[in-house]
Structure 1
Amino acid sequence: MKVIISGGGTAGHINPGLAIAKYIKKKNPKAEILFIGTERGLETKLVPRENFEIKMIKVRGFKRKLSVDTFVAVKELFQGLSEARKIIKEFKPDLVIGTGGYVCGPVLFNASRMKIPTLVHEQNAFPGVTNKILSKFVDKVAISFKEAEKYFKDKSKVVFTGNPIRSEMLEVSRETARKKLGIPKDKPLVVIFGGSRGAENINSTVAELIKRHKNDLRFHLIYATGEAQYEDIMKKIGDVKSPNINVLPYIFDMANTMAAADLVVCRAGAITISELTALGVPSILIPSPYVTANHQEHNARALEHNGASVVILEKNLRPDILYDQITRLLDDNDMLSNMAKSAKSMGITNATEKIYAIIKDIMKTKQKT
């Protein structure tokens, strides 16, 4: 079994692909899996870390306004189509999967034209432009939110699966995770991150919070700035000598970090939401206001409505407000416990198995035709 998986840009597109790849290898140890991405995306770091091969094509997203970048994007699109077709011809996959990002366009389009079984996975309640276009060509569309179905014309292709969760996220225990991270049993752990690329407003708020409270924190803090903003944030914070504070560019071991956390402060992206609910982790969500159709706030409000999260809109974000919310929740064990139970009740942990069942189905159907 030979499989190409394409998805790129942010961890939200890459991690579902990695989860699917690992499950395929679990079921078919001899399966050959190749990722296709771009040099600009985080896939250049995340995919090799998991020991999967990756090849790059040149393609970029289109901006809404006509500019010189538009013509560059058109040129790279045709180049990407040619490069993707060459890779597919050489690798000869039995199946091609897309997990989001503009890199999927040339790969899935070529595969469908070459009559190779194709599947695209949409993580969000409001589908991206690339996936809406690809839905016309692929064999099946896996969705993570039932609300996404209405945006796809051919409902017969759409299957509700939920978001794939990396197997390691579900296998680690809280006790083991805290021991590995060196978190004392009696110290609450708060984890803060703004996404794989970081979030400027969250970073400036947390940097100020640390400056004010680094000598009197009553909890252990693991804080990821995003690699692009790490140096600037460290300059703002200054010397951090507190053993309670660990500032990182990026959290690679998210499985242990999430499992060990008493409270997570983060954006409300689809994959993050899926991981929080699968593990049953209470959260303070700060939805990004810069996403299509404000879908992150819809994600966040769903958790808040079910008692699993507290939502702070970015326009209301202040160091004192965030610190007060964190300490208020950590001081109320009953509330944290109820939030954890509510989050867990919303979790979907078998999405990868559902997607694998779709894979087997479309491959059988293609073989018959």
Structure 2
Amino acid sequence: MVPRTLFGAEHEEFRKSLRRFFAEEVMPHHERWEEQQHVDRAIWNRAGDLGFLCLTIPEEYGGMGADRLYSTVLMEEQTHAGASGVGFSVHSDIIANYIYNFGNETQKQHWLPKMASGEAIGAVAMTEPGTGSDLQSIKTRAVKDGSDYIINGSKIFITNGYLSDIVVVVARTGDSGEGSKDLSLILVEAGTPGFTKGKPLKKVGMKGQDTCELFFENVRVPQSNLLGPKEGMGFIMLMKELAWERLIIAILSIAGAQAALDMTLEYTRNRKVFGKPVASFQNSRFKLAEMKAEIGIGQVFVDRCIELQLKNKLAPDAAAAAKYWTSDLLCKVVDECVQLHGGYGYMLEYPIARAYIDSRASKIYGGTNEIMKELIARTL
């Protein structure tokens, strides 16, 4: 396959540190986290101590000041380990970016060091019951009252929501009732009166990652919690970050497909049927060859998208294509790998079974793949 050329020696050293961290400090606890439906808060503090959070945030705000290749390495190693419970990427590469890119100096100085240390966990509250991927139909409202906003509404499927300390809430600050022109991003801190969290939602997969509903009932926050220079900039700010967010899903998806292939290669080489390794049968070899080829093709496209992102030149339709194609491929590969494992592929003690139930969400979150195709179709 085509060799990867993105990473230098420093990235590979970072990769080794991450691999040890996930193997020794995350995965031994993962089954317990899945049972309680959220990770222990201590793992966030530990990740912060090791410098694994907010990698791209400048050092003056507690981050590493690194490029997004370091974020890519973290996502790949997390995926290869099977650590679906920790929501580091949402926290570090999405929420921290909103605050750094659009927040004022007070907001940045207050929140980013806490996020980098793991003291404060971040979430973004976009999706609402009944709206799904349609951000322009958001109903949550923030109404001015003196020098404050009063927020009412609810959000669903919020990653890191249960443990969150700071939430970027997408709310409507105008009177249109729909559309994008009066959406704003407002910071809401956990513990604010009227802001409550539901219990972690019972998902099919990714059970260790806390995902919950958030409720806002007459939540009063100062107008200084607004992100950006003025009201109504929310949709524009969301769009500026969405290409990277969708590329994150592509990075995770192609890494997940490679991890599934790797574990299946090992299994089929060692597992014997009719006195021969499963990998020696022609059907097995052809299936494995098809997956290797398709993953290699997908990896080249994802790596090219990463190169463009590093130059701030990644087009939204390319990010949408990467997200939809690689997440489709992930689900296809994992399904084939389960089949090659036979009955053991359906047993949760085997990593491929956990990958099977964890991977399906990739075609839904970050905008469904149907939405991705619609975005691509608009450029035709």
Band of TM-score, shorter chain = under 0.3
Normalised to the residue count of structure 1, the TM-score between the two structures is: 0.24
Normalised to the residue count of structure 2, the TM-score between the two structures is: 0.24
Structure with higher helix content: 2
